[in-house]
Chains A and B, each alone.
Chain A
Amino acid sequence: MEEYAREPCPWRIIDDCGGAFSMGCIGGGLVHSILGARNAPAGYKNRLVGSFLAVKHKAPVVGGNFAVWGGLFSTFDCALVHIRKKEDPWNSITSGAMTGAVLAARNGVFAMAASATVGGVLLAMIEGIGILMTRMSAEQFRPVNPQMEDPSQLGPKPTSFGDSQYQ
């Protein structure tokens, strides 16, 4: 229960920032190693060098972009948790939209709205995946014939005088 003792929120921002950076670096490295090799002059060695250079130059940039997204997203998420005093899927969808809007802020109102929509929809889809995954894993551990007993904290049933099993 010690995990519940610690509040995840302000620290989660840094956590997410780093996680997003490494994710972007790995993904960007994979993509740019292929793109760099394709873009390089012919020849085994040239392709290898081109791929390496592309990864060296571009993977950290992709990682940085991801980190900005993740950090901003997490910041908004935590702010919403603090304001609403409630954690639910709405938080992440709203903060996705807000992140999209803020990152497109220099391109005008319409670009902001479009980017916010994209962010919200994207996060809604991710939430959908999360809910589906939770449901699937719950389905896996579901007992075949659940014997649902009432929690003991409630005490005995108050209106069970006519109930045969308690007599």
Chain B
Amino acid sequence: MLKLTLKPLSPAARNHMAQTCHFSGKFPLLQYNFLRIGTGKCKGHLPCLLRLQPFAMFTQYPCSVVMYKTAWPTKSIQLHSVCNFATKPKKEIQQVSDQKEGRVTVAKKVVQAGKDVTYLGVIIVGLGITALMFFTVGKELFSSKSPNVVYTRALKRCKSNDEVTSVFGLPLKGYGEMTRRKRRRHVSHFEYEKDGVMHMRVKFYIEGPDKKGTVHCEVRENESGDLDYRYLFVEVEGYPPQTIILEDNR
């Protein structure tokens, strides 16, 4: 059995709460988790069982025991709790487990490499999709050959044209096709190539206080790479049908 030797307390420290103790000898009791301290009964709030930390069973390092105020040197020692095991055994255990886990086999390496490649692929695909989205938006908003820019230019042209403003009335607003979610941001457009020259048709709607209408517009690329109007006209809604032609360079 385990022997628990306690240093005798000096008379001055008798009332002191803490007391050090040493386990001496080997620890034969691997199967016990608890030590019964003293011979008295366990009473109420005073624990009389000493719980052994798991690694305490293998080692014989000093521990310190915090005692309940005891009637030392009588035999019934009632322990409050156990704490402060030396760190040394912990370290040893740590090292052992490190050695076990640190052994990297070829199979583990292969698995890890496969995981890395998969994650890298996911990251690259995500970045690619993000870049594609930004590229699309940038092209739509800033490139001089996007339908949005053609729409902006044509709308400005309509707003500055006296005939259009006299028919539609003045706060003239423009919008594109209505989507299911009641957004009208995207103008409908169609790009095609004829005799090797890029053509683009854009259709959008304008609305003033008096009338509504549809603007049809076609642009083509000229020699210097800019877009010229092939035609631009406004179809006024209502009867009789009325068409205001702003540009006709066919």
Contact = CB atoms under 8 A, between A and B. Distances in A.
Interface of A: 3-4, 8, 12, 15, 19, 81, 85-93, 124-125, 127-132, 134-135, 138, 146, 148, 150-151, 153-154, 157-160
Contacts of A129: 133
Nearest to A142: B190
Given A3-B178, A15-B182, A158-B248, 18 more contacts: A8-B178, A86-B155, A86-B173, A87-B185, A89-B137, A89-B185, A91-B185, A92-B185, A132-B136, A134-B186, A146-B190, A148-B192, A148-B201, A153-B216, A153-B235, A153-B241, A153-B243, A154-B245
Residue from B136, B194, B205 with most neighbouring chain A CB atoms (10 Å): B136
A86 B135 CA distance: 23
Interface in B189-223: 190, 192, 194, 199, 201, 205, 212, 216
A87 B174 contact: yes
B152 interface: yes
A4 B188 CA distance: 15
A130 B183 CA distance: 11
Given A89-B185, A128-B136, A151-B216, A157 B250 contact: yes
Interface residues of B, number: 42
Contacts of B235: 153
A92 B248 CA distance: 34
A14 B39 CA distance: 78
B141 A90 contact: yes
Nearest to B146: A131
Main secondary structure of the interface of A (DSSP, over half): helix
A90 B178 CA distance: 16
A131 B136 contact: yes
A128 B128 CA distance: 13
Contact of A131 (B175, B186, B248): B186
A119 B201 CA distance: 33
Q: Nearest 6 pairs between A and B by C-beta?
A: A128-B133, A85-B173, A8-B182, A87-B175, A128-B137, A128-B136
Given A89-B148, A157-B250, A4 B178 contact: yes
A49 to B, nearest CB: 34
Interface string B144-175: 00001001100100000000000000011111
Contacts of A124: 133-134, 137
B151 A88 contact: yes
A142 to B, nearest CB: 8
Given A4-B205, A89-B148, A92-B185, A132 B133 contact: yes
Contacts of B135: 128
B186 A130 contact: yes
A127 B182 CA distance: 15
Residue from A15, A151, A153 with most neighbouring chain B CB atoms (10 Å): A153
